[in-house]
């Protein structure tokens, strides 16, 4: 009887893994079948979402690519696409229960399973998938409308996503009569692991674009105004505990990522909801349960780290599946603690850090800011590449 590999999730980690197994491992393992489970019919290039929310910039056709056509290249009996969500994982019986987008419940038995379900943002913000493909598209369209019609826009959260969102909006509207606010909980964006000159430069560049940075402050209350779509009544609290009220036409929080791990037994998750992950990118105690990307607790959550993990895991999966008995020794993944990050600052500038080195603005522009990765989204969705590997 043939083996079944189930991959849960079709984001920047899960989708390339499914393609890699079908292209490189299925020809070596008789009757191996790959079942990919995802609620999204299209792959969402969420790395460009920060620009896609700005009206007239990156349309849905550039950030969404249908998943199914990319699998037509493989034998029909070697894969199955299940559009739905995992509801319950039973790792002791090697079964996962899935509810399809049409409401049908189904239990799938597996020989090996990859958890690559990633994470989502609170408040259903489209910096990552929002439920199904159609729900994510609807959220993007709604934010574009709010930003276009609104006179005041507030972005909350001083991480890389918040920086890029406010920079894109300020680039377009900061000097065209709209008030663009950026609320961060520290004196400067990012945390203390980053070079101080990089952090200060980000504030300077946002202000040059017309953005108004409000440092050392948190949004402690956000109440939607039912009389106007997008409008929120906010309460801001500074480091001294002083509060003030603001009403804005569009409110875009970029904080509060939640792991998509509710289906995983509690004993396999840490206090943050992340799935335990060892040096072979498996759940400790389960030789056939693999974890990759945002959902795992081994590293910080970034697309760069997810890409490194998936490249390593794809090789290990091939060893495991070809080995036959599932006892083949797997290579250990080496965690790289070096800080690596590139941040766009509108459509023409950027900054970042590689270890202790500051990245030049022009480098970030050509590496990331020019197209935000949309120039290779089609190849990614078709399984031809990952973020870093061009020939997959």
Instruction: Write the pLDDT tens digit of every residue in 171-227.
Output: 999 999 999 999 999 999 999 999 999 999 999 999 999 999 999 999 999 999 988
Predicted local confidence at residue 229, as pLDDT: 87
Instruction: Please state the rounded mean pLDDT for residues 116-137.
Output: 96
Q: What pLDDT digit, counting tens, does each position of 153-184 carry? A: 999 999 999 999 999 999 999 999 999 999 99
Predicted local confidence at residue 21, as pLDDT: 98
Predicted local confidence at residue 141, as pLDDT: 98
* Closest to 189 (Cα-Cα) out of 9, 374, 341, 34: 341
Q: What pLDDT digit, counting tens, does each position of 265-295 carry? A: 999 999 999 999 999 999 999 999 999 999 9
Q: Please name every residue paired with 96 in a beta bridge, in sequence order, or none if there are none.
A: 89, 108
Provide the angle, in degrees to the nearest 10, between the axes of the packed helices 196-208 and 160-173.
30
Predicted local confidence at residue 388, as pLDDT: 95
Residue 326 has pLDDT above 80, yes or no: no
Q: What pLDDT digit, counting tens, does each position of 338-373 carry? A: 999 999 999 999 999 999 999 999 999 999 999 999
Residue pointed to by tokens 């680039």: 171
Predicted local confidence at residue 297, as pLDDT: 98
Residue 327 has pLDDT above 80, yes or no: no
User: If pLDDT is split at 50, 70 and 90, which confidence band does 321 have?
Assistant: very high
Predicted local confidence at residue 1, as pLDDT: 74
Report the half-sphere exposure of 21 (CA within 13 A, side-chain side): 33
Q: What are phi and psi of 345, to 5 degrees?
A: -125, 75
Predicted local confidence at residue 324, as pLDDT: 73
What domains appear along the chain, each with residue ranges and CATH number? Answer: 4-122+257-333 (3.50.50.60)
Higher pLDDT, 300 or 277: 277
Q: Give me the percent of the chain exceeding a pLDDT of 90.
A: 96
Q: Give me the percent of the chain exceeding a pLDDT of 70.
A: 99
Q: CA 55, CA 227: separation in Å to the nearest integer?
A: 23
- Decide: helix, strand or coil at residue 29: coil
Q: What is the pTM of this model?
A: 0.96
In 249-383, beta strands by DSSP E: 250-253, 257-259, 289-291, 340-344, 350-354, 357-359
- The answer to whether residues 254 and 127 touch, using CB atoms and an 8 Å cutoff, is yes
Residue 246 has pLDDT above 80, yes or no: yes
Predicted local confidence at residue 380, as pLDDT: 97
| Residues contacting residue 99 through CB under 8 Å, at least 6 positions apart | 84, 85, 87, 105, 106
Q: CA 84, CA 98: separation in Å to the nearest integer?
A: 7
Predicted local confidence at residue 103, as pLDDT: 97
């Amino acid at each position: 009887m043939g083996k079944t590999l189930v991959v849960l999730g079709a984001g920047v980690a899960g989708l390339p893994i499914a393609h890699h197994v079908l292209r490189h491992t299925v020809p070596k393992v008789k009757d191996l079948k790959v079942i990919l489970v995802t609620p999204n019919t299209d792959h969402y290039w969420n790395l460009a979402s920060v620009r896609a929310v700005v009206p007239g910039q990156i349309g849905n056709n550039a950030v969404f690519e249908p998943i199914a056509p990319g699998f037509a290249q493989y034998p029909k009996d070697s894969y199955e696409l299940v559009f739905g969500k995992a509801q319950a994982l039973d790792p002791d019986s090697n079964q996962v229960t899935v509810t399809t987008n049409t409401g049908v419940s189904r239990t799938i038995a597996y020989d090996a399973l990859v958890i690559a379900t990633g994470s989502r943002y609170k408040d259903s913000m489209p910096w990552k998938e929002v439920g199904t493909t159609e729900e994510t598209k609807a959220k993007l369209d709604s934010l574009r409308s709010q930003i276009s019609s609104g006179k005041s826009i507030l972005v909350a959260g001083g991480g890389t996503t918040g920086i890029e969102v406010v920079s894109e909006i300020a680039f377009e509207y900061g000097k065209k009569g709209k008030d663009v606010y950026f609320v961060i909980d520290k004196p400067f964006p990012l945390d203390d692991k980053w070079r101080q000159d990089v952090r200060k430069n980000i504030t300077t560049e946002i202000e040059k674009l017309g953005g108004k940075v409000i440092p050392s402050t948190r949004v402690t209350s956000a109440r939607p105004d039912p009389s106007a779509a997008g409008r929120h009544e906010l309460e801001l609290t500074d480091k001294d505990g002083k509060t003030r009220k603001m009403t804005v036409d569009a409110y875009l929080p970029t904080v509060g990522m939640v792991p998509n791990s509710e289906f995983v037994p509690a004993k396999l998750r840490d206090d943050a909801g992340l799935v335990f992950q060892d040096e072979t990118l498996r759940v400790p105690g389960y030789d056939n349960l693999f974890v990759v990307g945002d959902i795992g607790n081994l590293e910080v959550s970034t697309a760069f780290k997810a890409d490194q993990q998936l490249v390593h895991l794809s090789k290990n999966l091939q060893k495991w599946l070809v080995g036959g008995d599932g006892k083949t020794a797997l290579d250990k993944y080496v965690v790289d603690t070096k800080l690596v990050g590139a941040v766009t600052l509108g459509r023409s500038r950027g900054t970042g850090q590689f270890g202790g080195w500051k990245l030049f603005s022009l480098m970030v522009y050509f590496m990331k800011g020019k197209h935000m990765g949309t120039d290779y989204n089609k190849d990614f969705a078709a399984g031809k590449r990952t973020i870093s590997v061009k020939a997959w």
